[in-house]
Structure 1
Amino acid sequence: MAGFTVTQLEAIEKAIASGTLKVRYDGKEIQYQDMASLMNARNVMRDELIANGLLASTGGNARGVSTVAEFCRD
């Protein structure tokens, strides 16, 4: 394992949100080839951070937990 940090993940997520392929953190700069590579790197980092207990799992839903309720009139 590469030992990723939450700071690195946050930098990648900011790059994805802004549409740029260049990521900067801790005085380093990385240029990704395309958005797919950047998103793959984010997924690898996120999975490792979750596995190491450094990040809470979202349960596979990046938007958070949802609850559905159904009501009916009798």
Structure 2
Amino acid sequence: MDIVVVRREPCAPGGETTVVRLLGLLPPHWSCLPEVERDRVVLHVMLGSTDGCDAVRTEVEEVMADPAMRGWFAET
């Protein structure tokens, strides 16, 4: 499953900083492969390390509400 987040506020940190924050906020047992661009981050989440798609979506919603992710938004 892919998680895609995009920067919508120019003053928000770039993708390199954001991917570190994003990975730090997600459950540590998740296996993810990141792709990082300046204004876009894609995390390929291996579902075998999660409780399924619905659990991933719920967790991502919570993570994106964290102040560390200000200026970035998950694409649906």
TM-score, normalised by the number of residues in structure 1? 0.37
Q: Could you say which structure has the higher strand fraction?
A: 2
Of structures 1 and 2, the one with the larger relative CO (CA 8 A, separation 6+) is: 2
Normalising by the residue count of structure 2, what TM-score does the alignment of the two structures yield?
0.36
